[in-house]
Structure 1
Amino acid sequence: MDSTCEPSVQAHTLVLDLFPFDSAFSQPLFASVLVLSKGAVLVSVGGQPLPYAFAKDSSVAMTRPNAPPSATSLGPASSSTSLAARLAKRYASQVFLTLDLASLADGAAGPSAADRAVMSMEKALVTELDKVLERRKA
């Protein structure tokens, strides 16, 4: 085995600060990112306390030549499906995405906070993912 090869799996922990996008959220979310290969990534987003519920709301999406990305929900909840498709398109990768935003309901933003946080979470997630993933055209 060549010692100069990059590891096949790279792990990153990202802090997602939602406050700049919506001042109702003072506590950050966290993303665990596993780059499985150049064309596949697992992104898991949740809040405190760790560990958050893995696969609570999960989806997988992949790019297709000359077509929009295809995505499917891997469970009963499906708020992650459209986000997984957008991430797959942005990074030209297969994206496995799991979300657990329930911790936001306990904060000052109230019970509907998880739904309200999706747009801010996406902006914060993309900001941080751009630092670790190469943005490519599909």
Structure 2
Amino acid sequence: MDGDCAPTVHTHTLTLDLFPFDRAFAQPLFASLVVLAKGAVLVSVGGPDPLPFSWAKDSSVAMPRPNGPPSATSLGNASASTTLAARLAKRYTSQVFLTLDLASLAQGAGGPAAADRAVVPMEKALVAELDKVLERRKP
């Protein structure tokens, strides 16, 4: 059909180097970014190996709101993804579906505390990589 324009889905694999933010993490994590449409993205973080890693271990969705903080909802029992999804929705003015699988860090020598400790450096590394691909909201 002429004039029919299906949305283009773009997929990116991002390497998240946590080492500059916390020297305890020498191995990178990986993220899959799927730009679903203008204003909607799916971000999945896990690894130390590129995909596939477990989806829905800790999942959330967040929506930006023009006159207030983003609205975010956890889609499971864990909640590390909820606040991060809200911050990403605000930063990129996009609906963000976020899933985190940091269990591989817990299996290493650091144990479960390593997964908790990785959240802050992972967020910094993720934002650094997303800034290269997504348009950041202008203040």
TM-score by length of 2: 0.91
1:76 aligns with 2:77: yes
Distance in 1 (CA, whole Å) between partners of 2:138 and 2:97 is 18
What's the RMSD between the two structures over aligned residues?
1.9
- In the TM superposition, 1:51-130 aligns within 5 A as 51-130=52-131
Contact 2:29 2:45 in 1 (8 A): yes
Percent of residue pairs bearing the same amino acid type: 78
Name the CA distance, whole Å, in 2 between partners of 1:132 and 1:108: 33
Residue 137 of structure 1: how far off its partner (Å):
4.3
Matched, 1:42 2:42: yes
Q: Bigger CA drift: 6-15 or 53-62?
A: 6-15
Quote the Cα distance in structure 2 between the aligned partners of 1:105 and 1:68: 32
Note the 1:12-27 alignment, pairs <5 A.
12-27=12-27
Matches of 2:52 and 2:11 in 1, distance apart?
A: 16
Answer yes or no: is the 8 Å Cα contact 2:7–2:37 preserved in 1. no
Residue 7 (structure 1) shift: 5.7
- Matched to 1:114, the amino acid is A
Task: Provide the aligned length of Structure 1 versus Structure 2.
Answer: 137
Per the TM alignment, residue 120 of structure 1 is displaced from its structure 2 partner at its CA by 0.2
Shift of 1:108: 3.6
Shift of 1:48: 2.8
